[in-house]
Amino acid sequence: MPKKEVIIIHGGSCWKTRAEYLTDLRATKFVVGFFPRAGWHTNLQKDLGAGFKVWLPDMPNWQNSRYDEWKIWFEKALAVAGASPVVVGHSLGGIFLIKYFSETVNPPKTRAILLVGTPYKTVSENPDFGNFALKRAPRRLDRLGANLHFYHSQDDSIVNFADVEKYQKVLPRAAIKKYTDRGHFIQNHFPDLVQDVKTLFNSR
């Protein structure tokens, strides 16, 4: 029996110019370990169980992310995962998925899109957000209805809580879960997301 497949796109940083990236790199303290290999991302396979296959690709140059590079790599992940996976995006990975599925002509089919701590940035409002900024409000994704999920916490210190409220206005049919104490979802397990993934696969 084929496994139920999930692709997780992790977060990262993007910069309008290389000079801004180098300034940040010089100011960043060197640490051992990298964000994509920590927390619920790596535990999701175990938490979902043997009937699932979780893909967690390392996205290119995540400290100085470029949308066109991520698009190439993501499409390779989609090709490996097969038909209609659930795709999950965290932070920059979330707005990447919003941009990809709202701006790509005839995007591949997915079972659902789950977005965790996702920024809302448009080119007109946020010209300094690099090439991950949305060209326009992603109203096209409202067709997904409740198969589009958002998870956001009021105490998120990285992505403003107002961002999910912007998505709620643009995508009124999406399923939105709001929290008070999850921060930017840097946690070892994410039981709500686990349950939602299982429900999405069992519903059809």
How do the domains of the chain map onto residue ranges?
Answer: 4-202
Tell whether the model's pLDDT for residue 94 goes beyond 80. Answer: yes
Quick one: fold of 4-202?
Rossmann fold (3.40.50)
User: How many whole angstroms separate alpha carbon 94 and alpha carbon 174?
Assistant: 14
Q: What is the pTM of this model?
A: 0.90
Using the structure block, give the residue that is written with the tokens 């795709």: 87
Greatest Cα pair distance, the chain, in angstroms, is 50
Tokens encoding 1: 């029996």
Please tell me which residue, 29 or 142, carries the higher pLDDT value.
Answer: 142
Q: Which residues is 114 bridged to in the sheet?
A: 88, 149
pLDDT score, position 31:
64
Q: What is the mean pLDDT of residues 151-161?
A: 96
CA atoms within 13 A on the CB side of 196: 23
Q: What is the mean pLDDT of residues 42-68?
A: 91
* CB neighbour class for 93 (10 Å; exposed up to 12, middle 13-18, buried from 19): buried
Q: In what order do the strands lie in the sheet with 4-9?
A: 52-55, 4-9, 86-90, 112-116, 148-153, 175-179
Tell whether the model's pLDDT for residue 127 goes beyond 80. Answer: no
Q: Where are the alpha helices (H) located in 51-190, listed in sequence order?
A: 67-81, 92-103, 162-170
Q: Return the amino acid letter for 102.
A: S
User: How many whole angstroms separate alpha carbon 166 and alpha carbon 199?
Assistant: 26
User: How many whole angstroms separate alpha carbon 68 and alpha carbon 157?
Assistant: 27
